[in-house]
Amino acid sequence: MPSTTDAAKASLTYMVQQRTEAPYQPERQNTNGPPIPEIPWPSELILIPEDGLPNMDHSNGLAIYRSSLKGYSAMLENQRQLALDQVTRLGDLSPGQVQDIGGGTMEKRIEKELDESIRLGKYLSKAACYIDSPWPGGDTSSQSRGEKKILREQAFELAQQLDPLLQLSIFDLGSGNSEKLQPIFDELEKAKKFCRYFAVDINRASLGSHVQGLSKRYNYILCYGLYGSFEDARRFAIAMPGNKVGISCSSTLTNFEPEEVCRILQSWLEAVDRLILGQHEPVGEKELESSYHTPGFTEFMRGGWDKANQVLGRTEFDDARWTLRCKISTLPQCHMFRCTSLVQPGTEFFWFACYKYTTLEFQDIVKKSGWRVSKHYQDEKTKMSRHGHANSNIGVSPHGTDIFTLSDKDFDQFIHSGNVVKNGDFLPDNLTQHGKKELRRYVDEHAEFCASLDLILCSPLTRSVLTAKGLAETSEAPVVCLFGLAENTNWIQDIPPITYVKGGKRYASTVSLAGGSAGGTLLGEEVVDLTVETPDDQWESWNDRQRRLSTIKTCKPLREIEEQDKKLRIQIRNSVQKIAERKGRSIKALIVTHGGKINTLTGNYRTQLELTDVGWEFKSSSCFANLGTAVYRFRSATDEEAELVEVHESEEHAQLLGSDYQRPRGFSYIDRSGKAADERRLYEMFLKETHEEVKSKVSMPIHSVLLRWDGTA
């Protein structure tokens, strides 16, 4: 089934510098020359002269810093003195440790917010969610992937800009336990650049783990944790000597309405000299809503409810007392939750607002706040699920051509038209161009993992074969096609393609789509090489039109699919055991298959559901990301079921695969009665519904063309 979370989501990273000249810093000499120079902590620090800031460019009409700053300086002096006390105490802190700069009072702040939200309807911040739980998309969301790619590719350039800055301190706002900044740190370490890194977060456990890991990795970068809010960190940074850079990935600092973003950026003018900001651009409304209703995000929000109940000392928030509904607005685009009480009519408040700005919108805010944009970088990513991004992952779009409006004579010409198709489910199977780029990225990033494989299994579907062959480029493992690994649904893209043999190799002609931000844009015909080992060679039989038509018209019962997959597990286990015996060691086998098939092959149904007024409704057949890699083992060498058991949170594979590691799902969908949703039953209903959809198309002439299409060459 096409994932409804496939979306072209742009990530922007801005290198932003102040419009003003940098505050004067007296030169400080290190006369002792220790191996790791300590930055001296002064007892007094004046960043702003009493007669105001140096001359500014006021072309944007901003006048906040134009007049004398005597009163403002006096206000800052109190903040500065408080921060100086904290900075002085930091002198006794060792790298890898965490300093409380206000986080210890966070629960009291949350309690006050909750009280005002419930009584007065005030907006509730995100702190209740973040304080105990990491952001579910911290390293896996489309924005995070885009930012990681930018930071990886531009690490040398960014490090070159930071290297000349004397007495450099870096503030990472909302660091979590992310590895995004490591490419920059690696470049600074190579250059033997001494600096201090301050990770800022309200999740103390995540913060501690993060800075401990970095401290072991770097010698020249002294890593500390600051436990508190961004405002706590801003006050702390004001007192810091030397050059200071603030970094905010994933829109953490700027995820507010425009006026508030402007105010926040203005306040940071006094704290740091440069900012590197990540900002998420707008997406389609459907994609926006879907991104906040994934299983991981649902669990994250429920964790926020649990924390709110703990802070309040009572069970205030649950499905029986409150409802959560989406509210989406535009200009700028924003998604937030409307929390409505079921027991106190008229009581409601908004929670967890997430803003998306276009490049022009965001740059306008930056300029109005008194900063200027030095440079910005942009990347686009699409959410992945299972195999590489395929034609079948092109979800239903309001734009483009419905192929079933074409005549049977139009299709050959249509695929070369450069038009956009609304849906890829009925097209011949293939990886999109975007999917091929993502596959290349996976292979490049995980060469060690690919090289460790002893066997790669795939289905006969084009998207699976091409993914498996791509993974095998850096591995000596054979690629073996098992026809039983094909997807359970019977769309045209879920049955093996029509193939032909030429020069000893097997080929298929298919349709190429752009994918990614270009979605269903047609790129023409493509001939693909599907040459792989095939113990049970069924290729020629799938060229038979009657077999293809019979498969399309047949709805196989779920029990029958599960029984076939039990036999398939036994076959796979036997193959693995033979290779292990031959090599005299345990081996690694990789299965490249499909979201629905993972459910029936493992017997562990991990779908995506959405809570509605009538209960849980089916949303997607799998919670797996494209190229997401989960780890299983056989329970025993002899059990009759050949049961597969998911390995619990494998640290080894988390390190090998990074954000592509598919962790075990740690929650169940619970309805209002407290019962777990029957995901198997809902998946069974989905199979029947898709079969009815396919049947309704069979009589159309274009469907016959698609079913037997073998290329135009």
Assign 12 a pLDDT band (cuts: 50, 70, 90): very low
pLDDT of residue 107: 92
pLDDT of residue 229: 93
33 located within any domain = no
Q: What is the mean pLDDT of residues 94-101?
A: 91
pLDDT in tens, 143-177: 677 778 788 878 888 888 888 888 899 999 998 87
pLDDT of residue 40: 25
487 located within any domain = yes
Burial per residue of 444-479, b for 16 or more beta-carbon CB atoms within 10 angstroms, e otherwise: ebbeebbeebbbbbbbbbbbbbbbbbbbbebbebeb
pLDDT in tens, 417-474: 778 887 667 788 889 888 899 999 999 999 998 999 999 999 999 999 999 999 999 8
Same-domain check for residues 496 and 528: yes
Burial per residue of 330-343, b for 16 or more beta-carbon CB atoms within 10 angstroms, e otherwise: eebbbbbbebebee
The answer to whether the Cα torsion of 17, 18, 24, 26 is positive or negative is negative
Higher per-residue confidence, 41 vs 526: 526
Strand pairing category for 244-248 and 168-173: parallel
Same-domain check for residues 521 and 640: yes
Q: Which of 351, 379, 407 is the last residue of a domain?
A: 379
Same-domain check for residues 397 and 373: no
Helix (H) or strand (E) holding 350: strand 348-356
Please count the structural domains in the chain.
2
Same-domain check for residues 550 and 653: yes
pLDDT of residue 196: 93
The CATH number given to whatever domain includes residue 55 is 3.40.50.150
Same-domain check for residues 374 and 519: no
Same-domain check for residues 92 and 200: yes
Q: 82-91, 261-270, 509-518: which has the minimum mean pLDDT? A: 82-91
pLDDT in tens, 271-295: 998 888 887 778 777 777 777 877 7
Question: Which residue range forms the structural domain that includes residue 245?
Answer: 9-22+38-103+135-280+360-379
Assign 136 a pLDDT band (cuts: 50, 70, 90): low
Higher per-residue confidence, 111 vs 294: 111
pLDDT in tens, 635-645: 888 889 999 88
Same-domain check for residues 422 and 367: no
Q: What is the mean pLDDT of the chain?
A: 79
Same-domain check for residues 397 and 531: yes
275 located within any domain = yes
The beta strand positions in 496-588, using DSSP E, are 499-502, 505-513, 522-529
Model pTM score? 0.50
Residue 294, C-beta contacts closer than 8 angstroms, at least 6 positions apart = 5, 136, 608, 623
292 located within any domain = no
Higher per-residue confidence, 403 vs 576: 576
Same-domain check for residues 258 and 401: no
pLDDT of residue 617: 86
202 located within any domain = yes
Closest to 687 (Cα-Cα) out of 515, 529, 543, 561: 561
Same-domain check for residues 454 and 549: yes
Burial per residue of 666-702, b for 16 or more beta-carbon CB atoms within 10 angstroms, e otherwise: eeebeeeeeeebebbebbbebbeebbeebeebeebeb
pLDDT of residue 375: 67
Q: Which of 349, 379, 409 is the last residue of a domain?
A: 379
349 located within any domain = no
Q: Which of 379, 414, 444 is the last residue of a domain?
A: 379
Residue 54 scores a pLDDT above 60: no
pLDDT in tens, 392-417: 554 445 567 777 777 777 777 777 77
553 located within any domain = yes
326 located within any domain = no
pLDDT of residue 667: 66
Same-domain check for residues 459 and 489: yes
DSSP string across 211-279: HHHHHHH-SSEEEEEEES-HHHHHHHHHT--S-EEEEE-TTTTT-S-HHHHHHHHHHHTTT-SEEEEEE
pLDDT of residue 18: 44
Same-domain check for residues 508 and 371: no
